[in-house]
Chain A
Amino acid sequence: MTTLHQINHQIVYQRPESLSDTNTHYCPGCTHGVAHRLVAEVLDEMGIREKTIGVAPVGCSVFAYKYFNMDFVEAAHGRAPAMATGVKRVLPQNTVYTYQGDGDLASIGMAEIMHVAARGENITVIFINNAIYGMTGGQMAPTTLPGMKTTSSPLGRDVELSGFPIRMSEMLATMDGAGYIARGSLHDAKHIRKAKKAIRIAFETQERGLGFSMVELLSSCPTNWKITPNEALDFIAEQMVPVFPLGEFKTNPELAKLRV
């Protein structure tokens, strides 16, 4: 049966080519999937999927290589920036990005992320900050909020005992090698659109050889936060954004010439 719809219609939104047709193992409502889709859309729009090499981390996104439709390698825990450096240095014409969570990037991989930025390595990092270790079942992360309950801070993160959350974007913005550093959030459509722009600018930074670029994305973990997906989005807006302010922390002057 032919409907009117099929005769005269336009697709406004569809799955990007840079995503594979594999359905993800992420829990329902986990915004990892949004971040994946945004990266895929940006790579599609820039037409660079076929020269892009992704570096997957260890953590919930350990299987990222299955979900993106492009060449991928899988790093050891925290070492994605070093691995990406190796790839980029021998294939400088390719686009190289890592996709890392907060445990991977801000805890075990702290040295690698700081130095990849210090070197001004022409790679892009997509940093998912959901304030918790997801894959191992909800332990305290370096970005866990003060007072936040996790399985390894069952009474709430006590800053006297286990310190304060780390603001990676602010810290990395101090690096001369960084071309673009921004923090976005995935908690509603407006912020998702902004986040996509930031991801686009980050990849533009790499394509223009302007140094290290990173987009930190505040992301939800309904399962380990033990709330519903929609409540988790509210948690980002109400609890995380005040601790991790949104915005651009470093923008190479060359990028200011871009109208995105």
Chain B
Amino acid sequence: MSKQLLKGNEAFAEAAIRAGCEGFFGYPITPSTEFLEYMAKRMPELGRAFVQAESEVAAINMVYGAACTGKRVMTASSSPGISLMMEGISYLAGTEVPAVIVNVMRGGPGLGNIAPAQGDYYQMVKGGGHGDYFPIVLAPASVQEAINIMGVAFDLADKYRAVVHMIVDGNMGQMMEPAELPPMRELPKKPPNWAVTGAKGRKPNFLSSIYIDPVEQEVTNLRLLKRWLEIEKNEVRFAESGLEDAEIAVVGFGTSGRVASSAIRTAREEGIKVGLLRPITLAPFPEKRLEEISKQVRRILVVEMNSGMMLDDVNRVVQGRVPVEFYGRMGGITPLPDEILDEIRRVATNRMPVNGDARQQWITRLEKIVGGQA
């Protein structure tokens, strides 16, 4: 199949269908709405389930019900909608049923705005819903990568009976890029043995996240934890470039990682030895690779479209081996390649240890840009 010009949200939706998604339940919200609109047209054509729910709360619980039948099902939403879904996501995790949830992130908190942001990092990566559980979080950086990772998302969800978040920002959802879609996968002939399908000729199955006896709950928590450790061992994904001889490593995910990569190209032309680590799985985080890098480079620059959330994870892994600096834009502002290039130049010439907290110093620099209005 050849490349076509595809709009992000629509391409992700078609990729999900081709990965075998048999049920989509959603609620319109900018900037993810095209995902729902595409599904509204395409799913009925294929005889698959589509419901525009009355709310995100209902949508995620429809996903929950449909997931219990063992079919591949999903929803897509944007930040405030994902907040509403968090209860249901916790139930999905507690019941150990697979589901894929796409978050096309926008500026927040609160109503915020509809511009692209990465401020949901904590909510997505650290759980978001109540209780002990560990979602898998995938953060592609191009339409093509998101298409490819959609199939992976469903495979991981099934393999680990886990919630898989695919997070992109509004840029990715709205942009048009040449990309290639995978062929349509065949749907499985038989449901998994844990699914509810009607107890015909077998004992009833029941799926629930209730463990009224704390002992059973702890056993369940332990099972989830051990499964997560397996995921950490097996499923780390990242992209990197120019790190072989790098003295400076930039770490960024999704759009900020992508913008950083063009800044890095220019910096390289200027002779700065800089490379990029772009985590594709934010959870599990590419800790081992980052640790290796931290033993090789002289400085690390974290670039995000939030107030420095992944920065905390980077610091946790780097453990002060090298200075970690930060550059972020918030509120729905995407950093320009030149801004990041300036940061790379600054970091390259700065031979001093970071004097104090990287985030604190970034605030001072950011206030100059935004005019000190904060």
Please report A residues at the B interface, Cβ cutoff 8 Å.
20, 49-53, 55-56, 62, 65-66, 68-76, 79, 82-91, 94-95, 111-112, 114-115, 119
Can you sample 14 A-B contacts with CB below 8 Å? A49-B199, A50-B198, A53-B196, A53-B197, A73-B64, A73-B207, A82-B61, A86-B73, A88-B65, A90-B66, A91-B69, A91-B198, A111-B55, A115-B53
Q: Is the CB of B54 within 8 A of A94?
A: no
Which residues on the B side are within 8 Å of A65 (C-beta)? 206, 208
Q: Is the CB of B58 within 8 A of A82?
A: yes
In the complex with contacts A71-B199, A76-B87, A90-B49, A82-B207 CB distance below 8 A: no
Q: Is the CB of B49 within 8 A of A89?
A: yes
Q: Is the CB of B58 within 8 A of A72?
A: no
Assembled-state Cα–Cα distance A88/B71 (Å): 12
In the complex with contacts A56-B208, A71-B206, A73-B206, A86-B65 CB distance below 8 A: yes
Assembled-state Cα–Cα distance A114/B58 (Å): 12
> Given A71-B196, A73-B207, A115-B58, 9 other A-B contacts at CB below 8 A?
A50-B198, A66-B206, A70-B204, A73-B206, A74-B208, A79-B58, A85-B51, A85-B58, A91-B198
Assembled-state Cα–Cα distance A82/B22 (Å): 17
Which residues on the B side are within 8 Å of A50 (C-beta)? 198-201
Q: Is the CB of B66 within 8 A of A87?
A: yes
Which residues on the B side are within 8 Å of A83 (C-beta)? 61-62, 64-65, 68
Select B61's contact among A66, A86, A90, beta carbons within 8 Å: A86
Which residues on the A side are within 8 Å of B64 (C-beta)? 73, 75-76, 79, 82-83, 86
B66, B67, B87, B88 interface centre (most CB from chain A within 10 Å) = B66
In the assembled complex, B63 has its CB within 8 A of some CB on chain A: yes
Question: In the complex, which residue of chain A has the Cβ closest to the Cβ of B72?
Answer: A90
Q: Chain B, 152-167, contact with A by CB distance < 8 Å: what is the 0/1 string?
A: 0000000000000000
Assembled-state Cα–Cα distance A83/B207 (Å): 12
Assembled-state Cα–Cα distance A5/B62 (Å): 52
Select B51's contact among A49, A56, A66, A89, beta carbons within 8 Å: A89
Assembled-state Cα–Cα distance A112/B88 (Å): 14
Select B58's contact among A53, A68, A73, A111, beta carbons within 8 Å: A111
In the complex with contacts A86-B67, A87-B66, A89-B66, A112-B49 CB distance below 8 A: no
Q: Is the CB of B206 within 8 A of A85?
A: no
Q: Is the CB of A90 within 8 A of B200?
A: no
A50, A70, A91 interface centre (most CB from chain B within 10 Å) = A91
Which residues on the A side are within 8 Å of B71 (C-beta)? 90
Assembled-state Cα–Cα distance A146/B270 (Å): 79
Assembled-state Cα–Cα distance A69/B207 (Å): 14
In the assembled complex, B205 has its CB within 8 A of some CB on chain A: yes
Which residues on the A side are within 8 Å of B205 (C-beta)? 71-72
Distance (Å) between the CB of B200 and the closest chain A CB? Answer: 4
